[in-house]
Amino acid sequence: MTKTSTFFALRNPVYRSLWFASLLSGTCVSAQETAATWVMNSLGASTIFLSLISTVSSLPFFLFTLPAGAMADIVDRRKLIFVMNIWLAVAAGLLASFGWLNSLNPYIILMCIFLLGVGFAFNAPAWTAIVPEVVSNEELPSAAALGGLQLNISGIIGPALGGILIPVVGSNWLFALNAAGFLVVILALLGWKRAENASKLPLESFFESLEAAIRYVRYTPGIQIVVARNVLFAFFISLIPALMPVVALKVLILMLLSLDSFLPVWALDPSGARYS
């Protein structure tokens, strides 16, 4: 692979292991989101609850991204990612456990999804920050491109996989599969041996790091423009995943009603009765 290749960073065995682990985990997360929406609808929840799935999964990023970034600057990032993936595995395991106990209700689903969102909010800054530690400067552009590629692949394959597996194995097994995906990431992390000089921590405290981040944004006009654009974009783009389950279910119902109206024409047996 040449240095300009998108897949150049995959020559790095540590990064390759982490990338494939995150790809598998991300696919399981997307499949789990499909399963959660399916279960929420099967419980007879209102369209508000269906929309709240997207809301509660995104809310932790709004609440905790800044503290999570500050924490990623002052603690061992490898340990932070390790702990957060345990947190994520437990949250996904709770969904599966409540499902197998037939105790799932809309509130429990939203609570578990919120806990998953908290884990992702604290995991994301640390995960982004470790990439330059794992790859060389030559591999960094490829690693950045592969990070976006991984998200796109997971976002495409996961929902399709969820739709295929729900009628085959059930939603609870998809929740359990999601928990197992986080354990795969933990195993990949165990194979990464950090250099000693990479583990030295800064001297500033959590609040000092948080204050420095706020001060940097406050006195940097260029960053303010980027933040403002991202907030505006995120506000409108977040409406799409929130409304998609509601719209999709309405379209599905209309399609079924339309199909039912055609049944007398093409689904009659010789005696004039519909096939069951």
Of the two residues 21 and 268, the one the predictor is more confident about is: 21
pLDDT of residue 76: 87
Provide the strand spans (E) within the chain: none
pLDDT surpassing 50 at residue 64: yes
- Kindly tell me if the per-residue pLDDT of 190 is higher than 60: yes
| Ordered alpha helix ranges (H), 101-205 | 106-134, 140-169, 171-190
Residue-averaged pLDDT of the chain: 81
The beta-carbon contacts of 107-110 under 8 Å, at least 24 apart in sequence, are: 109/36, 109/39, 109/40, 109/53, 110/49, 110/52, 110/53, 110/56
| Residue-level pLDDT at 160 | 87
Residue with tokens 């395991």: 93
Indicate the pLDDT class of residue 173, thresholds 50, 70 and 90: very high
Instruction: State which amino acid sits at residue 140.
Output: L
Percentage of the chain with pLDDT > 90?
Answer: 34
Q: Measured in whole angstroms, how far is the alpha carbon of residue 61 from the centre of its chain?
A: 12
- Say whether pLDDT at 181 is over 50: yes
- What is the arithmetic mean of pLDDT over 114-123? 94
For residue 49, give both structure tokens: 């609850």
pLDDT value at residue 193 = 79
Tell me how long the chain is: 276
The answer to whether the beta carbons of residues 119 and 87 sit under 8 Å apart is: yes
**At residue 126, does pLDDT exceed 60?**
yes
- Topology of domain 8-202, per CATH? Growth Hormone; Chain: A; (1.20.1250)
pLDDT of residue 211: 73
Q: What is the mean pLDDT of residues 34-55?
A: 85
What is the C-alpha separation between 111 and 116, in angstroms, rounded? 9
Confidence at residue 276, expressed as pLDDT on a 0 to 100 scale = 37
Mark out the alpha helices in the chain (DSSP H runs).
13-42, 47-74, 77-100, 106-134, 140-169, 171-190, 206-218, 221-237, 239-266
Give the mean pLDDT of 156-183: 91
Q: What is the domain partition of the chain in residue ranges? A: 8-202
Residue 269 above 60 pLDDT? no
> Which residues are paired to 274 by β-bridges?
268
